[in-house]
Structure formats: structure tokens, C-alpha cells
Amino acid sequence: MHSFESHIRNVPDFPKPGIVFKDITPLLQERFPEVIEAMSLGINWNEVDFVVGIESRGFILGAAMAQLKGKGFIPMRKKGKLPPPVIAETYTLEYGTDTLEMIKEERPARIVLVDDVLATGGTLRAAASLCMKNKLEVKAMSLLINLTFLNKFKEEGLPVHSVLNY
Ligand code: AMP
């Protein structure tokens, strides 16, 4: 396990009882350039056109990765934030549903999908499906933290790169 781990704060019962929240803000403050480099390793950037970041911690990480690798950045946002034309994907949460949106693409492209934490995988699965609906081929998914005990992404052979695995 990376020395990054000591800069992640585990916050019990946030935002809801029973959730142990991984607070990455101390890590971003102390080691930001190295974190961005680590998240960018193991990806064949020659086959990537853009970085897609998921609101909102995926913006911080994904935008810095795009800058490091000389790629453009596409934001994927919560419902109602982006102006039309948008393309949307609704997915099921523990209670109710949530919707992700992105601006409708004119041309096909190849992308890397970025977020901070992979937990159950509901968000990342919906994000990948939205990209595919929007003519964006997901070449890799890059996470800072993978809570592997909560999802089956590895077993399913999905192209997931994560720096810290629990
Ligand atoms: P999931 O859809 O369950 O994989 O949840 C992923 C989204 O929720 C990510 O965008 C994370 O930012 C956030 N998230 C879920 N669980 C945690 C956790 N334990 N600590 C911090 N963020 C989390």
C-alpha cells in the first residue's frame, strides 16, 4: 500500500450512519502532484482523446490529469447543471435514483473516466454507460481509491486503475 494512505482520514458515520467516509482533502493538500502522476500511470495515453471527470471530486483529479497528459477535459455533472443539448443516465441508489448528464457529443472519441472513490460501483457503471451512449469509448477508468470489498469491478475484468485498494 502507498504512503498516500496516511493522509486519508476515515470519518465514521458521514454523510450517513454506517458509512466510513474516506476524506481525501489532507492527501490533496500534502501530495497533489504525486497523486495526479500515480492516477495517470498504467494508462495508454496514445489511445485517449479526452479525460471525463465525474462531479465533483472527479473534476479536481481529472482536470489535473488532463493537464499533465495534454488532453482536453469533459465534465460529467449532476442533473440540471449543464445547458442543452445534454444526454442523461439515471441510476438506482440505496434510496431512490440519481441522474448524471453530459453535453451531447458530435463525434466519437476515446476517453479515460475519472472519480475519487469507487464504492458499490453504481456511479461509475452509470458514468461508463452514459459515455457509451454519447459515442465516447471508455479506454480506462482511473480512481484514487477502490473499496474493492464493495464492488466486483476487478472480477469482471473492467479496465479499472486505482492507486489505493482496500
Ligand atoms: P458508488 O456509486 O457507491 O461507487 O459511490 C461512488 C461515489 O460516492 C463517488 O463519487 C464517491 O465520491 C462517493 N463515495 C462513496 N462511498 C464513499 C466513501 N466511503 N468515502 C468517500 N466517498 C464515497
pLDDT tens readout for residues 91-138: 998 788 999 999 999 999 999 999 999 999 999 999 999 999 999 999
pTM of the model: 0.96
Q: Which of 117, 120, 129, 142, when mutated, tests ligand 1's pocket best, judged by the most ligand atoms within 8 Å of its CB? A: 117
CA-nearest residue, atom 11 of ligand 1: 117
pLDDT of amino acid 87: 98
Alpha helices in 18-137 (DSSP H): 25-40, 57-69, 122-133
The Cα–Cα gap between 103 and 75 comes to 8
Written as nine digits, the cell of 37 is 502522476
166 within ligand 1 shell (Cβ under 6 A): no
The Cα–Cα gap between 138 and 94 comes to 26
57 is an active site residue: yes
Which position among 94, 106, 107, 155 bears the catalytic label? Answer: 94
Written as nine digits, the cell of 32 is 497533489
Query: What are the residue ranges in the chain where pLDDT is below 50?
Result: none
The Cα–Cα gap between 139 and 58 comes to 17
The Cα–Cα gap between 137 and 74 comes to 13
pLDDT of amino acid 53: 98
For residue 40, the CA-to-ligand 1 centroid distance in Å is 20
Q: Strands 109-118, 50-54: parallel, antiparallel or unpaired by DSSP?
A: parallel
57 within ligand 1 shell (Cβ under 6 A): yes
Coil, strand or helix at 32: helix
pLDDT of amino acid 95: 80
Pick the CATH number of 43-165 from 3.10.20.520, 3.90.1150.10, 3.40.50.2020, 3.40.50.1820: 3.40.50.2020
pLDDT of amino acid 26: 98
DSSP assignment of 4-24 equals: GGGGPEEEET-SSTT-EEEE-
Distances (CA, A) of 166 to 99, 117, 148, 150, 151: 27, 11, 6, 9, 11
pLDDT of amino acid 155: 83
pLDDT of amino acid 2: 65
Contact between 57 and 24 (Cβ < 8 Å):
yes
